[in-house]
Amino acid sequence: MDIEALIKNLEAVNDSLKSSTIRESDDFDKCVKRFQAKLADLKGIFKSANGEDTAHLKASILDLKVILEEIEKLSSHDIKVLDFAKDIVPTK
C-alpha cells in the first residue's frame, strides 16, 4: 500500500470536509475533528517510522476508515466519502 498516496488522498477528503456547506451538526463536526486528528496521527506515524511501523499504520488506517463511515452516515449531502474510503484496507 502506498501510504504517501493514501495520505494525499485523505488530505483531499479533509479539504472537502472543511467546507462550511456540508457541516451539518455538532456530531458531524466532532467526527471531522476526529478525522483530522487521526490523519495527523497517521502522518506522524509514517514520518517517524519511515513507514516501517506497520502495526500502528494499520491501526490508524482502520480507525480512519471507521471515522469516514461515521461521517458519511451523518452527512445529508451526497459527498460519498466512502466511494474513496471503501478501498482503504491495509495489506500488511
Give the DSSP per-residue string, 48-81. HHTT--HHHHHHHHHHHHHHHHHHHHH--S---T
Given this model, what pLDDT does residue 66 score? 92
Nearest to 28 by CA among 38, 18, 37: 18
Instruction: Tell me the whole-structure pTM to 2 decimals.
Output: 0.68
pLDDT attached to residue 63: 93
Domain boundaries of the chain, sorted by first residue:
3-85
pLDDT for 91? 53
Tens-digit pLDDT string for the chain (92 aa): 678 888 888 888 888 777 655 556 788 888 889 999 999 999 998 888 776 778 888 899 999 999 988 888 877 655 555 555 555 555 55
Locate 75 and state its grid cell: 452527512
d(CA 29, CA 90): 26
Task: Give CA–CA dist 60/43, Å, rounded.
Answer: 10
The Cα 92–Cα 54 span in angstroms is 7
Phi-psi region at 50: left, alpha or beta (left = phi > 0; alpha = psi -120 to 50): left
- Alpha-carbon gap, residue 55 to 4, rounded angstroms: 16
pLDDT at 11: 86
